Amino acid sequence: MSVAVSDYKVSQETLHADRWMRLAVLITVVVPPIGFVAAIAMLWGVAFNWSTLAAFLVMYMLTGFGVTIGFHRLFTHRSFKAPAPVRAFLAICGSMAFEGSVFTWVAEHRVHHQHSDHENDPHSPHLHGKGFRGLLRGLWHSHIGWLFEPHSPDLHRYVNDLQRDPVASFVDRTFVLWAALGVILPAVIVGLVTWSWMGVLMGFLWAGLARIFLVHHVTWSINSVCHLWGSQPFRSRDESRNNPIFGIMAMGEGWHNNHHAFPTSARHGLRWWELDTSYLIIRLMGLLGLASDIKVPDQETIMRKQRTPGSTD
């Protein structure tokens, strides 16, 4: 009986630590964007204006969609097809996000799906010990720590298909050029619009560096937050979660449990209220003849994967 009571106490402590950790994650996700918006408001009319805001938003959307639509849904999961100019544009926009070249990004993400929340997953938060300290280590590793670890020596084998694509190969080889243009172009454009060196500086700082910072942490939060906090309406072999905050901020990527249940689907927000702006763009591309063979699971397939109430499967 004493062993059972001891085990119960340990499990309760772990549960409480887990709850506090989820609260801490929520705070660290919500507070920085509020502070970011407050900083913009305080600088408005002083060192921040409409041209700087427009450049920041345009670069955030271009690079964000370059990652979500290009790197993720097109190149990693082949959830739709696109002609060469569209593939090139999306690969270049994704490269400007400063998250690595298209080959490296795709290979790492394919490894993640192969081993999701199991051994060899490059950025799972669930493999770093138990209790509060284990959760802290897991959160750090899944969010940013994994970036400092060496790549797998056989990473290239995960992108054999992309290596046969001349468009993807070219953009991958010239990654440094596109990454540099991602900070140079907005600086030049804002400088020309305002016709001032202050405009150049603001374009560089806000549409360049600050935009990269925000896109990075939103992307990395899919690895960390969306494997810790949220709902799991579908069966999957991992701890992927639907998180409405990142369903919006990450342009649909936050419906992460949906994605892991249906990885080849171009649509991640499967229910009417799950806003998925990346999918809306893909649908528009389809109407314009810029995308084809757009994969979305049918209703019967979706129903078969749904968890029953109270299920832990």
In angstroms, the CA 313 to CA 153 distance is 34
Q: How confident is the model at residue 268 (pLDDT cuts 50, 70, 90)?
A: very high
Q: 57 lies in a domain?
A: yes
What's the token pair of residue 196? 């001032």
Q: 1 lies in a domain?
A: no
Q: 252 lies in a domain?
A: yes
Q: How far is CA 44 from CA 41, 51, 193, 236, 311, in A?
A: 5, 11, 17, 46, 50
Q: 313 lies in a domain?
A: no
Q: Assess contact for 311 and 240: CB atoms under 8 A.
A: no
CA torsion sign for 104, 107, 113, 114 is negative
Q: Assess contact for 21 and 143: CB atoms under 8 A.
A: no
Segment 73-106, tens digit of pLDDT: 999 999 999 999 999 999 999 999 999 899 999 9
Helix axes 50-65, 211-223, angle to 10 degrees: 30
Q: 20 lies in a domain?
A: yes
Segment 166-212, tens digit of pLDDT: 999 999 999 999 999 999 999 999 999 989 998 898 888 888 888 88
SS3 255: strand
Segment 139-172, tens digit of pLDDT: 888 988 888 887 777 888 999 999 999 999 999 9
Helical H runs in the chain? 2-43, 50-65, 84-95, 102-114, 131-143, 160-163, 166-173, 175-194, 197-202, 211-223, 244-249, 256-261, 277-287, 299-305
Q: Assess contact for 255 and 261: CB atoms under 8 A.
A: no
Q: Which of 74, 50, 92 is nearest to 182 (CA)?
A: 92
In angstroms, the CA 206 to CA 183 distance is 9
Number of domains in the chain: 1
Q: Assess contact for 261 and 293: CB atoms under 8 A.
A: no
Q: Which residue range(s) make up the domain with 212?
A: 13-305
What's the token pair of residue 4? 């059972």
Q: 42 lies in a domain?
A: yes
Provide CB contacts within 8 A for 310, sequence distance 6+: none
Q: 226 lies in a domain?
A: yes
Q: 312 lies in a domain?
A: no
What's the whole-model pTM score?
0.85
In angstroms, the CA 229 to CA 125 distance is 11
In angstroms, the CA 302 to CA 160 distance is 30
